[in-house]
Amino acid sequence: MTHDVHIIGGGLAGSEAAWQLARRGYRVRLSEMRGTGATTPAHQTDGLAELVCSNSFRSDDDERNAVGLLHHEMRRLDSLVMRAGEKARVPAGSAMAVDRDVFSEEVERALQEHPNVTIVRERVDSLPASGATIVATGPLTAEALAASIVQATGQDRLAFFDAIAPIVHRDSIDMDIAWFQSRWNKGDGKDYINCPMDKDQYLAFHQGLLDGEKTTFKEWEANTPYFEGCMPIEVMASRGVDTLRFGPMKPVGLDDPRTACPEFPQGRWPHAVVQLRQDNKLGTLWNMVGFQTKLKHGAQVALFRTIPGLENAEFARLGGLHRNTFLNSPLVLDRQLRLKGGEHVRFAGQITGCEGYVESSAVGLMAGMMAAAELGGGNWSPPPRSSAMGALLSHITGDAEAETFQPMNVNFGLFPPLRDVKKKSRKEAYTTRAKTEFGAWMAELDGIPA
């Protein structure tokens, strides 16, 4: 055998798991079907760790935010995703956003250069019968392998719909109407482009979302739900006329300079705002924040060009919709992410029922560490439940009810509660406790270098 672990899937989770195993001295065969002529409904390149939806890893605040705390913990464990993210970083206020092409290139370069990693462009159609394996094929697992997983788990696949936001060419945005500003001037203060709407413009836009032609579902997709954390904008609009104004189009903390007057020298808040975030390091591409959609492409172009400042918008990519698949992990996986009844196979990433780039990467990181511990005969214990990684792992592998299991972003609701702390200081208390207990856990890792 030329490898110690076979990892199937070269996305975020598979790449992170490969890195964690390789840096601990184990040989990895990393199989990725893209590059063989096969692809998925969402991918556009053959690059490892391609970001198919947003280019944001969300908040980088590790003092009061659960995903920022997850960033902190992954950095302490030498996460490849966090390393590459820093090199590919673009301005995004207090969030961590990246140039998606640079990010993918950094991940692939690091793995290609590591002597313990062999990247093989091949499609794997069934679960291996033996040998340490990590399946990290994500929510867009190819049909043949998905069928093999269904056969092994005895469970029908679970699924939800995920959506993709459009990307606009920067030089097609009218900056006589739009302006640069971060909400409440966070970060560098000018990390977003803002397109303002008055009430009439907003109401017309809202109606256009409701009336616009949408993609239709196949019969077998009819009862598939949406993921709440990535809801199509027209679905949000259907929940009420002001839903968007309290969501992705909220105007608070954004001062339109065109409305400056003696009483409001910096300008007043518009009725609603469409924000765009830088998508690449060159600053030539900007994505429409929160504007994931299932509108048909022609309807998107027509409607989004009614947004002030985007009347002549040119789109590098339009929005789309794809069906994601995940396991009922509390039922079919053990606490070490191993398949019950087939313990040589671990699962990692979004297919386990986590949601989000960082969460997927974190589960891949833990799967890599688990496999390394098993190969080395060490006694690896999971991170404390009070940590972001521990809370996420606990949700996937047992805390959630199997009957109602749904994908979840990391959040403080997954953490053991702190009932004796005042609400306004609870987030800081969660992160303080997590960092202390996570640090103690790292110090006690048995035979596995941090």
Structure tokens at 430: 């969660």
The CA–CA distances, whole Å, from 158 to 221, 325, 336 equal 11, 6, 21
Question: Are 21 and 372 spatial neighbours (Cβ–Cβ below 8 Å)?
Answer: yes
Cα Rg for the chain, rounded, in angstroms? 22
Measured CA to CA, the distance from residue 282 to residue 149 in angstroms comes to 41
Report the binding-site residues: 9-14
Q: How far apart are CA 120 and CA 102, in angstroms?
A: 21
Q: What size, in residues, is the chain?
A: 450
Does residue 177 contact residue 196 with C-beta atoms inside 8 Å?
yes
Please name the residues in contact with 324: beta carbons below 8 A apart, sequence gap of 6 or more: 139, 140, 159, 160, 161, 162, 227, 350, 407
Which two structure tokens, joined as six digits, stand for 56?
A: 């944001």
The 8 Å CB, 24+ separation contacts for 178-187 are: 178/308, 178/309, 178/310, 179/256, 179/257, 179/258, 181/254, 181/255, 182/93, 183/93, 183/252, 183/253, 183/254, 184/253, 185/253, 186/93, 186/94, 187/91, 187/92, 187/93, 187/94, 187/95
Q: Where are the alpha helices (DSSP H) in 29-160?
A: 66-76, 80-87, 100-113, 143-153
Contact of 346 with 338, CB cutoff 8 Å: yes
Which of 311, 425, 410, 315 minimizes the C-alpha distance to 71?
410
- Output the CA–CA distances (angstroms, integers) from residue 154 to 9, 138, 352, in the order listed: 22, 19, 15
* CA separation for the pair 397, 403 (Å, rounded): 13
Pull the structure tokens for residue 304: 């989004």
Which tokens is 140 given? 């867009």
CA-CA distance, 309 to 193, in Å (whole number)? Answer: 10
Sequence ranges of the binding site for FAD: 9-14
